[in-house]
Copies of this chain bind each other. A is one copy, B any other.
Amino acid sequence: MEDKAISRAVIKRLPRYYRYLGELLESGVERISSNELSDRMQVTASQIRQDLNNFGGFGQQGYGYNVKYLHSEIGKILGLDRTYHMIIVGAGNLGQALANYVQFEKRGFLIIGLFDVNPVLKGITVRGIPIRMAEELPDFLQKNSVEIAALTLPKANAKEMADVLVENGIKAIWNFAHTDLRLPKDVIVENVHLSESLMQLSYNISRREQAREPAPDYGDNDENSA
């Protein structure tokens, strides 16, 4: 159980390593020590070494890490060495915001379809992709290879739509609807619960006010509900 927790935490940290290494690469930096990386990333050098040791020895004593190699290897681990076709289901503001994120394309995530139920949106294009109606999903999924479906629609419709997607072959869902999807075990679900994120903020603001001191260190574990 403990290994399970550690692994998950490490995987969650990998994208941030990838980002920093990408920036170093762009700046022309060829090698970096765990101490230098530690300074930049504001995590301990020992955590960096431990994290990266999970995936084989990348560094060399006295040399540090080769930026290009490390960036590339972490990219492979994160599955970024290939292309994914993604559709967005729910073409409201949030869906359109995702469709407009050019950075996703740079990472290999190509948005190839946009769907909605609102007939007013039919045919409107977002970065060249026409909004289709949800009824066209089964046909579209049959004709196109799609790995990921982003669900950016109201909670009430999310579960039904998730089922339609899974029935038609989708095996990975990026869920922005504020609900838990109960899907078969072979379907990967990544949730982005914005309300829950906002509640982390309110929790911290509230604690800060109670303590009348700088933003809380999570090491304080003596709060209680009253």
Residues in chain A within 8 A of chain B (CB atoms): 1, 3-4, 6-8, 11-12, 14-16, 18-19, 42, 54-56, 58, 73, 76-80, 82, 84, 92-94, 96-98, 100-101, 103-104, 107-109, 147-148, 171-172, 174, 178, 180, 185-188, 190, 192-208, 214-215, 217-221, 223-226
Contact A172 B205 (CB under 8 A): yes
Can you report 12 residue pairs joining A to B where beta carbons are below 8 Å apart? A7-B220, A11-B218, A78-B203, A79-B204, A82-B206, A93-B93, A93-B96, A107-B195, A148-B205, A174-B201, A185-B215, A192-B194
Q: Which of A11, A108, A186, A226 has the most CB of B within 10 A?
A: A11
Contact A185 B214 (CB under 8 A): yes
Which B residues lie within 8 Å of A7 (CB)?
A: 218-221
Contacting residues, chain B, for A174 (C-beta < 8 A): 197-198, 201
The CA-CA distance from A223 to B10 in the complex, in Å, is 13
Compute how far the CA of A147 lies from the CA of B209 in the bound complex, rounded to whole angstroms. 12
- How far apart are A68's CB and chain B's nearest CB, in angstroms? 14
A172 B94 Cβ-Cβ under 8 A: no
B79 touches A206 (CB 8 A): yes
Whether the pair A84, B205 counts as a contact (CB closer than 8 A) is: yes
Q: Which of B15, B82, B147 contacts A193, CB < 8 Å?
A: B15
- Contact among B56, B97, B225 with A97 in the assembled complex (CB-CB below 8 Å): B97
Residues of B within 8 A of A16 (CB): 193, 196
Closest to A74 in B: B225
> A4-B218, A178-B19 given as contacts; is B206 within 8 A of A197 (CB)?
no
Query: Contact between B196 and A190 (Cβ–Cβ < 8 Å)?
Result: no
Q: Find out whether the CB atom of A55 lies under 8 angstroms from the CB atom of B223.
A: yes
Choice from B19, B108, B186 contacting A215 with Cβ under 8 Å: B186
Give Cα A218 to B180, complex, Å: 19
Complex contact A3–B192 (CB within 8 A): no
Q: How far is the CA of A195 from the CA of B186 in the complex (A)?
A: 23
Query: What chain B residues lie within 8 Å of A42 (beta carbons)?
Result: 180
